[in-house]
Structure 1
Amino acid sequence: MAQNVTDESTAVSGNQTGDKEKAAQGKAALNKAMKPIQGKLNLGRTLAVVSGLLSVAPYTALVSIGDVLLKAWQQHTQPDANLVWMYVLVLIGAFMLRGLVYFIALTVTHFADCTLGASIRKSMADALGKAPLSTFNASTSGTIRKSVHDDVETLHSLVAHWPVEGTAAVATPIALFAYIVVLDWRLALLALATLPIYFGIQMFSVAGMDEKTALMDTKIGIVSSTVVEFASGIAVVKAFGRNGKPLRQYERAADDFLKFYNDWCGPLVRWCSISEAFIAPSVITVINLTGGMLLVQAGYVSAPQVLAATLTAMMLPSTITTIGNMQWSYQLAGSAALRIEQNLQVTPLPEAKHPKHPNGYDVRIDHVDYSYGATQALNDVSLTIAEGTMTALIGPSGSGKSTLATLIARFDDPAKGSISIGGVDVRDIAAEELYRTVSFVLQDPQLIRASIRDNIALGRPDATLEQIREAAKAACIDSEIIAFDHGYDTVINGTTALSGGQEQRIAIARALLKDAPILILDEATASVDPESEAQIQQALNTLVAGRTVIVIAHKPSAVAGADQMVVMDHGRISACGTHSELANEAHVKALDDIALRNRITAQSTTQSNATANATATQSADTKAQEVSHHA
């Protein structure tokens, strides 16, 4: 028992140390991120100070108006109208000038925020665009999405608002309090009467805020990652109910975050509510008016001075709240800046110092090893793919087919061995030339939220509409695109939804337009209906002509015409040959049997549905005849 307590205490101490270190790193990252726009932020702060000083002028004018009116009342005379109007104009003018200066200050910092956000997103796009494919696995893609979108948005409050609102929240109460001191030091003490109680409770309630904020941010990142992992495997989760591992991981992460958040924020909210009761406008008004009237009766101050001091004192709580909110934003922004910095520092794939040009388009894979963390995906794989031929990679899920194909396009580098195109190692080919040489058509088409025209022209942005339409016609999709209200200007995932088959044919049109000599097809017809599969197959026949083609498939019968068929199992090549040569190979036979059973099941389901529909129709007709007969 004692040992368990000791271990638990050590773990808690280690977590606290890690959270403190993360908070410190976040502050350093935040300062570094904001360094390029520091000049604009300082200008915003300066204007905020000017705005804070100008906030005193309306109260000064208000007291002056009160003094003129009170004096006239005491002397039973008419007040000096010209003097009153002058003070009114000063009050209105100062108020408007303060608002204008404050608006200019916020404009400056908002422009700085736009500059910083655009710069960060561009830098992250450049950095992540050069990162290896292993950077974007299911467990980290949620963190990357959070960094690219959410974290940049988190910096918005700190950059666009905090320099102005935070500075004004300090400068304004200082200027107003100085004015109250000038009126009477006793009124100044009344204005501050409840603040010591408020700050005492606040300091007690927010102890360890930096560390807890850093820990909360870490837990949110874990939840975000597990959500992405859960969503990516939703089909499997639905098929196997609540026993799926991604669902359990998400539930644990969500429950852990909820418990932490309730344990932290429950007491915090209670103490904050108690503290804010002491700076409520009603409490401040009662204290200042009661004390002020006693001072008026004693002859120390005048009624207009008490009124001005009370109104000024009521401004202090709002500035305190602003400072509290901005401090919270600062803590969140530190963690956001740290994640952004980590993504900017992702190790890119090394570029060749002296790029070479491939001599032809044959592909040679020589003793390649590759791992995803502790999981070895490829083990001593060697393969030669002749130029202008079709090679089919088949095998069960997880056998390494897709991994091998992506390494050909250098989505990552192998741990051992080499991959060459035209006799040149892909690591020695310039990235631009490599991606002009290799093209992909994936099972998931990966279309972007843009027009159909832009999606097809993604690999050739300078392509004309005529060239885009020619590619679409070859992909058997042109007539369907033209039928849309906006034709090729239709935005995908906008007002028009596309079927899986349509999206796949658009991806094929994109590959046709790019016209790369090496083509990789990853289960291009796996997730579509039979009618769409036939149309896609027709488009693929046009696409593969004259190219070096690598096809990834689960069904050997679907690639029976390939020049060579490569059977992969547990990251190794277990057999290689034509379909007829491998007809009796264990893996090929097993995959063909599975495909046959799936096809029979699908046909049986279709026939059962047709029979059920026919029976239902016949029953409905019979009932209709009976009703007619009785009628």
Structure 2
Amino acid sequence: MTSPEASQSSPSGFRILVDLTLRYPRLLGVIILLGFLSSLVSAPTPYLGKIIIDDLIFRGGAAAGHEVSGWLGISHTVWMMTGIVALGVFLKVVGSLLGGWQCHYILQITRNSLYDVRLNTALRLMGARQEKLERLEAGRIASRIGFDVNQMDGAIFSILRNFLSSVFLVIVVVGFMVFINPWLTLVVLATMPVTAILSMVSYSKLREFSREESDRVADLTATTAETFGALKVIRVFASEGFFLSRLQKRCEALRYEGLYHWTRFHALNLLLTLLSSLGGDIFLLVGGILAIKGEITFGSFFAFYGYQAMLWGPIGTLLNAGQIMQTGTASAEKVRTMALLEQEPYLNNARPKPSQAFQGEIIAENLTFAYNAGEPIIRDLSFRIAPGSMVALVGQSGSGKTTLANLLLGMYLPTGGKLYIDGTDIRDWDLQALRAHMGVVLQDAMLFNDTLRTNLCMGREHPDERIWAALAGAHLDTFVRGLPKGLDEHAGIGGTRLSGGQKQRIAIARVFLKNPKLLILDEATSALDSETEKAIQRSFDALMAGRTSVVIAHRLSTIYQADQILVLHQGRLVESGTHEELVSRPAGHYRELYEAQVEGMIPMSGATRRSWTEPRH
């Protein structure tokens, strides 16, 4: 995966939207041309009315028409009026067609650019540092890529369609008004400065509200996804009321923001519309007086009235477009924060590919890791795992076993010390290349709402023979063959159509199918019954032969055969050795863990109770 480095300075939301449109300069040029032509051909209609009134009605055009024989008994004047009206209709049709073409090209820009935004945001999230991603709720990410990008869509469309078309129409209409009577034009536009100042104040407030509303929507989306994703647990604990109250609080916050801010905005918007339309009322008074005095013709009065009516339409559209743009710019800034997440170091700087075949040697030297500064989870670990050996990580919950496994996977990078894999510091590895050699089975098997084949192959192509062999290794082939669609059966959302043990075996089959050089198993058989665990363990034994294997286990039955056992306590390596060596130490941590289990706490997993002095067979 490659990803461009995001700029560390975050541009304004409006600049982000403008940059998206500028990615398609040719389409933008066509859109601007069509918008101008559409406005140009739509504007002459009132002026055509002036010609009919002044030249055909009030200047004797009708009387002159009776002196000449009319075609089909209709005077020339009527034919002229018909022609002028037909010209007006034709111009409107042409304007509508031009507007339709303009919308088509605008949609090409919006859909293509926002496709790029969604894809780039997903790409940046895929490459983000794991510790950064873990602080984000999945529902919040979904809200940014879904809701906020849709808001950006509306804003870009508003800029290219409503804003540009309205600006062009205002320019053309004002041009006709100045041509007819410059002084009356100033009268009509008298309220514009006040309207412009109030609009700027209104939109600065609206941008802040839009940011807050975007956050409230993200909160609601995240809470909804979390609640209904865990509905089974909620029902088991009869906690529907509590979790509905959480949803209610999120809905209430969104409702309050909407009522409070949108009421204020719409009240101000109505005031802006009123101020804008006052220019038309002033014209009716002043223009009517001038027409009565004969200082302007009635045709000019009619045309001017039509143009000032045309003027308020696009001005109102500009006010609404400003509202949509402020909402879109706020959403663009929210989406941008996702793209600015710190990336995995190997994505920023290319790493050389290892020249030798992967062996799986692991060396830690004073390895330290802390999620928060001054609070280390892993402290000064030093050990060596030989290629092809099996190592068990043992310790109480919270001792750092899973964190160490995440460090081996490159999910986290050390905050102190060194971690070498095949002699290369993990900070210098291309982590995708490293993970290509790794296979992982975790306690919680994650399945996707797709076919079993997709869940097994994880984006790679494998022949059916290999897939069935992997399923056989996980003792799941008989079950899958019995399904109506076999490998093409859907697993359901999160694997809900499978039992816990079946989901675990799908995860195990993935590893068999990948055939990795380094295995990391985190209680890989924890969800299986005793007999199935024994059978799969035999398959694992065959798979682990000659491969480096790191096994995280609480149960002694899974670690008896380890070549080396690393005992962790409060993030430190307190003991290491084989099972026999460790249980022979009278006051060791491992012996305490062992005795605690053999005194009656061994789970029903196939392990047999025995004295610590009994030799291993």
Deviation for aligned residue 1:40: 3.6
Q: Per-residue CA shift, 1:229-282, capped at 9, x if unaligned?
A: 97799799969999xxx99999999999888777755544433344334557xx
Q: Which residue of 1 aligns with 2:435?
A: 435
Q: C-alpha separation between the residues in 1 aligned to 2:141 and 2:344?
A: 11
Give the Cα separation in 1 of the matches to 2:288 and 2:386: 99
The residue number in structure 2 matching 1:378 is 378
Instruction: Kindly indicate whether residue 165 of structure 2 is the aligned counterpart of residue 168 of structure 1.
Output: yes
**Pick from 89, 94, 101: which aligns with 2:91?**
94
State which of 272, 276, 284 in structure 1 corresponds to 2:273: 276
In the alignment, is the contact (CA less than 8 A) between 1:368 and 1:380 conserved in 2?
Answer: yes
Q: Distance in 1 between matches of 2:485 and 2:86?
A: 57
| Residue equivalent to 1:10 | none
Residues 288-297 or 434-443, more deviating = 288-297
Q: Report the 3-state secondary structure (helix = DSSP H, G, I; strand = E; otherwise coil) of the residue aligned with 2:543.
A: coil
Further displaced range: 365-374 or 379-388: 379-388
> What is the CA distance between 1:190 and its match in structure 2?
6.6
Q: What SS does the corresponding residue of 1:545 show, helix, strand or coil?
A: helix
Stretch moving more, 263-272 or 509-518: 263-272
**Alpha-carbon distance between aligned partners in 1 of 2:421 and 2:228, rounded to the nearest angstrom:** 33
Unaligned 5+ residue runs, structure 1? 1-20, 600-631
TM-aligned CA deviation for residue 193 of structure 1 = 6.3
Conserved 8 A contact 1:127-1:348: no
Contact 1:237–1:247 (CA under 8 A) maintained in structure 2: no
Do the aligned partners of residues 56 and 592 (structure 1) sit closer, same or farther apart at CA in structure 2, a change above 3 Å counting? farther
Q: How many residues align?
A: 569
Relative distance call for 1:66 and 1:310 in structure 2 (3 A) is farther
Shift in Å, 1:431: 3.9
Structure 2 counterpart of 1:474 = 473
Residue in 1 that maps onto 2:524: 524
Query: CA 1:351–1:369 in structure 2 vs 1: closer, same or farther (change >3 Å)?
Result: farther
More helix by share: 1
**2:363 aligned with 1:357, yes or no?**
no
The equivalent of 1:107 in structure 2 is 104
Partner of 1:610: none
Q: CA, structure 1 residues 595+386, in 2 after alignment: closer, same or farther (shift >3 Å)?
A: farther
In structure 1, the residue matched to 2:506 is 506
Q: Deviations over 1:482-514 (max 9, x none)?
A: 555554344554799533444333322222211
For 1:546, give the aligned amino acid. L
Deviations 1:114-158 (A, max 9, x none): 443344455455544444422322347666555555554443234
Q: C-alpha separation between the residues in 2 aligned to 1:364 and 1:225?
A: 44
User: What do the CA deviations read for 1:488-542 (whole angstroms, capped 9, x no partner)?
Assistant: 344554799533444333322222211112111223345x5x66x8657644642
Q: Per the alignment, do residues 188 and 595 of structure 1 end up closer, same or farther by CA in structure 2, a change over 3 Å counting?
A: farther
Q: Tell me, what secondary structure is at the counterpart of 2:132?
A: helix
Q: Distance in 2 between matches of 1:68 and 1:492?
A: 78
CA distance in 1, matches of 2:148, 2:342: 13
- Measure, in 1, the Cα distance between the counterparts of 2:183 and 2:88: 25
**Residues 19-67 of structure 1 deviation map (CA, whole Å, 9 limit, x = unaligned):** xx99865556556565543554344233322222222144444555667
Partner of 2:418: 418
Alignment of 1:329-340 (within 5 A): 329=327, 331-336=329-334, 338-340=336-338
Q: How is 1:39-438 mapped onto 2 (pairs within 5 angstroms)?
A: 39-61=26-48, 80=77, 82-139=79-136, 148-185=145-182, 188=185, 191-192=188-189, 195=192, 198-199=195-196, 201-206=198-203, 212=208, 216=212, 223=219, 267-278=264-275, 297-299=292-294, 300=296, 301-302=298-299, 304-305=302-303, 308-309=306-307, 311-329=309-327, 331-336=329-334, 338-343=336-341, 347-348=345-346, 351-353=350-352, 355-358=354-357, 360-374=359-373, 375-427=375-427, 429-438=429-438
Residue in structure 1 matched with residue 71 of structure 2 by the alignment:
none
In the aligned structure 2, how far is the partner of 1:540 from the partner of 1:489? 27
- 1:65-91 CA-to-partner distances (Å, cap 9, x unmatched) read 667885699759756454344334433
2:321 partner letter: I
Q: Deviations over 1:155-183 (max 9, x none)?
A: 32344441232111211122223333444
User: What residue identity is the alignment partner of 1:107?
Assistant: H
Structure number with the bigger relative contact order (C-alpha 8 A, sep ≥ 6) is 2
| Other-structure match for 1:585 | 591
Q: 1:117 to 1:222 in 2, by over 3 A?
A: closer
State whether residues 452 and 489 of structure 2, in contact with CA within 8 Å, keep that contact through their aligned partners in structure 1: yes
Q: One-letter code of the match for 1:41?
A: L
In structure 2, C-alpha distance between the alignment counterparts of 1:253 and 1:470, rounded to whole Å: 49
Shift of 1:572: 1.6
Measured after TM superposition, the shift of residue 438 of structure 1 is: 0.8
Q: Distance in 2 between matches of 1:453 and 1:205?
A: 55
Secondary structure in 2 aligned to 1:413? Answer: coil
Asked if 2 retains the 8 angstrom alpha-carbon contact of 1:191 and 1:288, the reply is yes
Taking the aligned partners of 1:577 and 1:291, their CA distance within structure 2 comes to: 101
| Alpha-carbon shift at residue 423 of structure 1 (Å) | 4.8
Distance 2:44 2:599 in 1: 88
Letter in 1 for 2:398: G
Aligned letter for 2:592?
A
Tell me the distance in 2 between the aligned counterparts of 1:42 and 1:131.
36
CA gap 1:58/1:494 in 2 versus in 1, 3 angstroms: farther
Matched residue SS, 2:340: helix
Q: CA RMSD in A?
A: 4.8
CA contact (8 A) 1:567 1:574 kept: yes
Report the identity percentage: 22
C-alpha contact (below 8 Å) 1:48/1:165 kept by paired residues: no
1:173–1:319 contact (8 Å) kept in structure 2:
no
Give the match's secondary structure for 1:315: helix
Distance 1:590 1:51, change over 3 A: farther
User: Distance in 2 between the 1:265 and 1:593 partners?
Assistant: 67
- TM-score norm. by structure 1 comes to 0.72
Quick one: which amino acid aligns to residue 366 of structure 1?
Answer: E
